C-alpha cells in the first residue's frame, strides 16, 4: 500500500522545467555586489522593483496604515480577529477603482463581482475548478508562462492545448491557429471549456491587439459553452495606458453586456506586478457570472488575503493622488529600463521582439544556436547559466514552437546589475564569435596547408623522377 496519494507523488507539477531549474541554480550561487560579485544574476524572475521608493515614501507619510490605526486609534484587535472570507468591503472597492483607473476609466468594475485570492496563482486555479472538470481542456496561445502547467493543471486535472503562434507574425493569435487548436483538442477527445490569455503577454511583453481580441470574442460567441479568461496581472505595466485593451472594454464597445457572452468572460488580476508586491499575496477574480462568484468565494477560504494586508492596501489604493502618480511613474521607469536592455542587446547583435509592456523582453538568440533544435537551445541556456552566470528562461520552457527564443527580465535589479549582465553577455558573444572565427581560420589554414603539401609533394615527385631519369642516362 502506497504511503502517499497519487497526487502527492505525480510528476505533473512542472518543477522539473528548465524555468524552475534555473531558479535552483541561482539560489545556489546568487549574485551579490559585495558578498558574491561573480554569482549568478537572476534574470528569470518577473518582479517589479523599480518603484519601491514611491511605496516606501507613502508608508512614511501614512504611518497609521502600516501601524493598523484609524484616526490615530489602534484597530489591531479588530484586524486580528476572524474575518469573513468575502474580504473587507473597503479594500474590494479600492481595488475595483484601481483596476478602472489604469484603464483610464474606459470601463468600471463592480466590487461585488470581485473574489479575493492569495495571488494570481490561486485565482487561476480557482477559476479552473469553477469552469472545468478533470480531463476538460483550455486553449492557451504559445509561448505562455511556464507556471501555467502547475497553476492550471496540477491539482485540477485540466489539460492545456496550445494555440501555436509563431515569429512570422510577431507571435500574434490568428483565427487559423485558434481553430486548429480547437480541432486538435477534439481529435484528442478533449472537451474544450475555455481559452486563457495573458494580456499583456508573459513572456512576450506585448499587449493583445484589438484584432486578436475580436478573433477570440468571435470564437466564444460561436461556441456557446466556451469561456474566455484574461489574465491581466501585467496591465499596469503597459508603457502607455492607451495601448492596453481589457476584455471588459470589448464587452462594452461590442455591446455584449446583455448577451450570453457577458457571463463567460472573466479576469484574473493581482498586485504582484503592477505594484511589485508578490510577497503580499493579493490576487482577484472578476466575473459577471454570479454563480462563478459564489463558487469562487467559497473556494477562496483555502487561500485568503490577511485582514492586515487588506487594510494597509485599502488605504494606499484609496489615495488617488498617490495612485495617479505611481502609475505614471511606473510606466516611465519600466519603459526606460526596457529600452536600456534592448539597446544593450542590440549593441552586441541580439534582437528582441518589439514590446510595449511587461517586466521582460522576448529575446531572439536563434543565431547563437549550434543548430536549429531545442537540444541546441538547452546547450546555449546551460552555457548562459553556468558560464555567463545569468539565469534566463529558455523558450522551450514557455512552450515556444521555435528554438532560440529566451525571456529576459529587467525590472528586478538595479541599473548597475543590468549593465553587468550585459557586459557578461557581450563577453560571451564576442568570445563565441572569436572562437568560431578561429575555427574557420584553422579550417581554412588546414585546407591551405593540405594544398601546399600536395603541391610540395607533387614537385618533389617530379624532381625525383627527373633526376632518376638523368642517372639512368649516364
Catalytic residue among 273, 274, 285, 364: 273
Q: Is residue 257 part of a domain?
A: yes
Residue 376 is assigned to a structural domain of this protein: yes
60 is catalytic: no
Our count of domains for the chain comes to 2
Judge if 280 and 424 occupy the same domain: no
C-alpha cell, 133: 472538470
Instruction: Look at the alpha carbons of 254, 260, 262, 266 in this order and tell me if their dihedral is positive or negative.
Output: negative
Out of 72-76, 132-136, 155-159, 451-455, pick the least confident. Answer: 451-455
> Same structural domain for residues 258 and 363?
no
Domain boundary among 278, 302, 319: 319
Q: What tens digit of pLDDT does each residue of 28-81 get?
A: 999 999 999 999 999 999 999 999 999 999 999 999 888 888 888 888 887 778
ω before 297 within 30° of 0 (cis)?
no
Check if the beta carbon of residue 126 is closer than 8 Å to that of residue 296. Answer: yes
Give the mean model confidence (pLDDT) for residues 137-142: 98
Residue 450 in any domain: the answer is no
Q: Which domain holds residue 247?
A: 64-319
pLDDT tens for 307-360 read: 889 989 999 999 999 999 999 999 999 999 999 999 999 999 999 999 999 999
Which residue of the set 136, 149, 151, 231 is catalytic? 231
Percent of the chain with pLDDT over 70: 91
From the list 145, 234, 286, 311, the catalytic residue is 145
* Stronger pLDDT, 318 or 458, i.e. the higher one: 318
Question: Residue 363 is part of a domain; what is its CATH number?
Answer: 3.90.1150.10
Cell of 142: 504559445
End-to-end CA, the chain? 101
In a domain, 298, yes or no: yes
Measured CA to CA, the distance from residue 374 to residue 402 in angstroms comes to 8
Residue 473 lies in a domain: no
| CATH number of the domain within which 152 lies | 3.40.640.10
Please report whether residue 221 resides in a domain: yes
Are 39 and 135 in the same domain?
A: no
Confirm if 429 and 350 have CB atoms less than 8 A apart.
Answer: yes
DSSP of 352-393: E---SSSSEEEEE-GGG-SSSSHHHHHHHHHHIIIII-EE-E
Residues 218 and 295 in one domain: yes
Position 275 in a domain: yes
pLDDT at residue 474 in the model: 38
Computed over its alpha carbons, how large is the radius of gyration of the chain?
28
Is it the case that residue 443 has pLDDT exceeding 70? no
| H or E stretch covering 394 | strand 393-394
Q: Which domain-ending residue is among 429, 450, 467?
A: 429
Between the CA of residue 261 and those of 14, 189, 223, what are the distances in Å? 33, 25, 10
Residue 273 annotated among the catalytic residues of the structure? yes
- Out of 233, 245, 293, 384, the active site residue is 233
Residue 137 near residue 159, CB atoms below 8 Å? yes
Model confidence band, residue 412 (pLDDT cutoffs 50, 70, 90): very high
| 467 three-class SS | helix
pLDDT tens readout for residues 229-285: 999 999 999 998 888 999 999 999 988 888 999 999 999 999 999 999 998 899 999
Residues 158 and 286 in one domain: yes
Residues 310 and 348 in one domain: no
pLDDT tens sequence across 196-228 = 999 999 999 999 999 999 999 999 999 999 999
**Given 429, 453, 469, which residue is the final one in a domain?**
429
My answer on whether 147 and 12 are in the same domain is: no
Regarding whether 179 and 124 lie in a shared domain, the answer is yes
Same domain, yes or no: 219 and 294? yes
Q: Could you tell me the pTM of the whole model?
A: 0.88
213 and 93 together in one domain: yes
Which grid cell sits at 315? Answer: 488605504
Residue 86 has pLDDT above 70, yes or no: yes
213 touches 247 (CB < 8 A): yes
Phi/psi-derived region of residue 119, left when phi > 0, alpha when psi is between -120 and 50, beta in every other case: left
Cell numbers at residue 433, please? 564569435
Q: Is 231 a catalytic residue?
A: yes
The Cα–Cα gap between 474 and 160 comes to 92
Is position 234 annotated as part of the catalytic site?
no
* Cell numbers placing 35: 558578498
CA distance 283 to 91: 12
Residues 6+ apart with CB under 8 A from 306: none
Rounded to 10 degrees, the C-alpha dihedral 352/427/401/27 comes to -110
Same domain, 398 and 280: no
Q: Is residue 123 part of a domain?
A: yes
344 lies in the same domain as 410: yes
Residue whose C-alpha is closest to residue 55's, from 414, 316, 332: 316
Amino acid at each position: 500500500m502506497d504511503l502517499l496519494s497519487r497526487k502527492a507523488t505525480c510528476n505533473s507539477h512542472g518543477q522539473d522545467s528548465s524555468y524552475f531549474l534555473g531558479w535552483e541554480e541561482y539560489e545556489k550561487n546568487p549574485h551579490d555586489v559585495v558578498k558574491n560579485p561573480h554569482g549568478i544574476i537572476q534574470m528569470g524572475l518577473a518582479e517589479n522593483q523599480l518603484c519601491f521608493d514611491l511605496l516606501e515614501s507613502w508608508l512614511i507619510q501614512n504611518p497609521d496604515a502600516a501601524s493598523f490605526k484609524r484616526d490615530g486609534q489602534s484597530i489591531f484587535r479588530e484586524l486580528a480577529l476572524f474575518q469573513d472570507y468575502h474580504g473587507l468591503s473597503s479594500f474590494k472597492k479600492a481595488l475595483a477603482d484601481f483596476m478602472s483607473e489604469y484603464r483610464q476609466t474606459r470601463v468600471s468594475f463592480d466590487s461585488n463581482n470581485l473574489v479575493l485570492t492569495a495571488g494570481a496563482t490561486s485565482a487561476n486555479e480557482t477559476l479552473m475548478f469553477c469552469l472545468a472538470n478533470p480531463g476538460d481542456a483550455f486553449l492557451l496561445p504559445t509561448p505562455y508562462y511556464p507556471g501555467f502547467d502547475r497553476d492550471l493543471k496540477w491539482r485540477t486535472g485540466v489539460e492545456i492545448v496550445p494555440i501555436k503562434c509563431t515569429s512570422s507574425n510577431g507571435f500574434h493569435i490568428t483565427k487559423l491557429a485558434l481553430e486548429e487548436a480547437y480541432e486538435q483538442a477534439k481529435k484528442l477527445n478533449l472537451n474544450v471549456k475555455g481559452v486563457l490569455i495573458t494580456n499583456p503577454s508573459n513572456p512576450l511583453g506585448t499587449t493583445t491587439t484589438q484584432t486578436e481580441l475580436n478573433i477570440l470574442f468571435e470564437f466564444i460567441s460561436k461556441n456557446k459553452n466556451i469561456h474566455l479568461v484574461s489574465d491581466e496581472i501585467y496591465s499596469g505595466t503597459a508603457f502607455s495606458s492607451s495601448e492596453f485593451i481589457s476584455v471588459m472594454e470589448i464587452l462594452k464597445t461590442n455591446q455584449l453586456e446583455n448577451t450570453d457572452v457577458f457571463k463567460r468572460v472573466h479576469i484574473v488580476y493581482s498586485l504582484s506586478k503592477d505594484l511589485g508586491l508578490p510577497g503580499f499575496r493579493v490576487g482577484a477574480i472578476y466575473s459577471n457570472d454570479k454563480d462563478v462568484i459564489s463558487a469562487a468565494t467559497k473556494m477562496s477560504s483555502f487561500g485568503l488575503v490577511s485582514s492586515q494586508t487588506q487594510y494597509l492596501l485599502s488605504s494606499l489604493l484609496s489615495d488617488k493622488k498617490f495612485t495617479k502618480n505611481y502609475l505614471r511613474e511606473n510606466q516611465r521607469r519600466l519603459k526606460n529600463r526596457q529600452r536600456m536592455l534592448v539597446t544593450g542587446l542590440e549593441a552586441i547583435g541580439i534582437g528582441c521582439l518589439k514590446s510595449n509592456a511587461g517586466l521582460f523582453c522576448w529575446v531572439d538568440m536563434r543565431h547563437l544556436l549550434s543548430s536549429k533544435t531545442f537540444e541546441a537551445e538547452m546547450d546555449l541556456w546551460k552555457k548562459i547559466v553556468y558560464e555567463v552566470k545569468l539565469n534566463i528562461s529558455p523558450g522551450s520552457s514557455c512552450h515556444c514552437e521555435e528554438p532560440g527564443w529566451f525571456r529576459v527580465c529587467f525590472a528586478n535589479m538595479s541599473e548597475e546589475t543590468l549593465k553587468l549582465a550585459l557586459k557578461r553577455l557581450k563577453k560571451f558573444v564576442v568570445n563565441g564569435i572569436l572562437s568560431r572565427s578561429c575555427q574557420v581560420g584553422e579550417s581554412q589554414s588546414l585546407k591551405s596547408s593540405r594544398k601546399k603539401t600536395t603541391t610540395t609533394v607533387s614537385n618533389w615527385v617530379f624532381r625525383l623522377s627527373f633526376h632518376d631519369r638523368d642517372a639512368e642516362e649516364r
